[in-house]
Amino acid sequence: MTARGTDWSLALLVALLVATGLITAFAGTSGSAWVFALHGALGFGVVVVLVWKGRRVWRRVADPARWDGRTGFGLLAAALVLGALASGFLWSGGADVRLGGFGLLNWHWALGAALGLLVLVHALLRAKRPRVRDVTGRRQLFATAGVAVGAVAFWQLQRPVSALFGFRGARRRFTGSYEAASFAGNAFPATSWVADHPRELPAGHRVTVGGRCARPGVVPAETLDAGDELVATLDCTGGFYVTCEWQGVRLAALLDRVGATGDHVRVISHTGYRWSFSIDAPRGFLLATYALWSSFTPEGRGA
C-alpha cells in the first residue's frame, strides 16, 4: 500500500470507528447488533494498517535528529489511537478498571472522540489528495480484501476465544455491557450521566404533570404505585445492563388519567435528565417506582 493510501485508510477507519462508536449510544435492540460488530471489526482493521504505517515510520520517529513540525502531531495521534484501541480491547476482554474516577468505557469514549477530532483537524489542514494509484491496482485490492477478511474473522472468533480462556468478555451483551444485579430489586447501579452519583429522592417527592392536558397537577402516590409490571432491560452507555421486574404505573394510563392531548411527551427526572417521544410511544412504557427482588434468572423469565 502506498504511504498516502495507508494514511487515507487510517483516516477513513478512524472516521468510521467514531461514527459507529457514536451510533452505539442509540443502538439498543438486537437488530442493531451489526453496529457493534462493525465497530469491533474496524478496530481490528486499524491494528493491521497501523502495523504497516509503523514499519514505514518507526526509524524516523526513533531518531530525534529527524523530527520535524509534524512529529508532535504524529506522536499525539499515535498515543490516542493506542489508548482507544487498548481501552476498547481491554473492555471487550472483560477488564474492569477505573482511572481517575472514570470507567474504562468512559475513557474509551473520550479517547476515541479526541482522536476523531485530531484526525479531522489534521485532514483539513494538511491532507494531500489521494491519487488514482493510491486506491486502485491489484496490491491495493488484495490488501483491502485481506484486512476485511481478517476483520470479519476476528469478529467471529472474538467471543469463542474469550469463552475458551474464561474471560468475562464472553459474557457481555451484544452492546458490550456487563450484567449488574439483574432481578435483585433496587440493587442496580444508580447513574444518570458520566461518573455522577444521583442523589436519593427527598421524602415527599412528587411527580407533577403539566402542559397540554385536561387535568394537570400533582400525581398522588397511589397512582404511581398502581402495581403495573414490566420485565425490561436497562442498558447503560456507561457499560452495564440490568434486567428487572419493574413496578409502577403504565405511562399511557397516567396520560389517559390527566387527559393528555398534545402530540409528544417529555419526561424530566429528578436529576434533570429528560427525554421526549411521540404521544403514541408510551403505550408500552412504564413509569417505574421500584424493581422487585425476584429469584427468577433472566433466562428463566425469557427476558
Binding positions for ligand HEM, rule: CB under 6 A: 14, 17-18, 21-22, 24, 36, 39-40, 43, 46, 81, 84-85, 88-89, 91-92, 108-109, 112-113, 115, 158, 172, 176
| Bridge partners (DSSP) listed for residue 40 | none
Nearer to ligand HEM, 27 or 249 (CB): 27
| Bridge partners (DSSP) listed for residue 98 | 103
Nearer to ligand HEM, 84 or 244 (CB): 84
Task: Determine the Cα–Cα distance for residues 272 and 286; give it in Å rounded to an integer.
Answer: 19
For the CB of residue 6, give the shortest distance to ligand HEM in the complex, in Å: 15
Nearer to ligand HEM, 47 or 209 (CB): 47
Cα 223 from chain centre: 35
Nearer to ligand HEM, 108 or 250 (CB): 108
Task: Determine the Cα–Cα distance for residues 96 and 94; give it in Å rounded to an integer.
Answer: 6
For the CB of residue 89, give the shortest distance to ligand HEM in the complex, in Å: 5
For the CB of residue 121, give the shortest distance to ligand HEM in the complex, in Å: 15
First CA to last CA distance, the chain: 48
Task: Determine the Cα–Cα distance for residues 170 and 92; give it in Å rounded to an integer.
Answer: 8
Q: What is the CA radius of gyration of the chain?
A: 24
Nearer to ligand HEM, 40 or 103 (CB): 40
Nearer to ligand HEM, 36 or 188 (CB): 36
For the CB of residue 123, give the shortest distance to ligand HEM in the complex, in Å: 14
Nearer to ligand HEM, 50 or 231 (CB): 50
For the CB of residue 168, give the shortest distance to ligand HEM in the complex, in Å: 11
CB 265 within 8 A of CB 277: yes
For the CB of residue 208, give the shortest distance to ligand HEM in the complex, in Å: 35
* Amino acid code (one letter) for 139: R
CB 110 within 8 A of CB 88: no
For the CB of residue 109, give the shortest distance to ligand HEM in the complex, in Å: 5
Nearer to ligand HEM, 41 or 249 (CB): 41
For the CB of residue 60, give the shortest distance to ligand HEM in the complex, in Å: 22
C-alpha cell at position 132 = 488514482
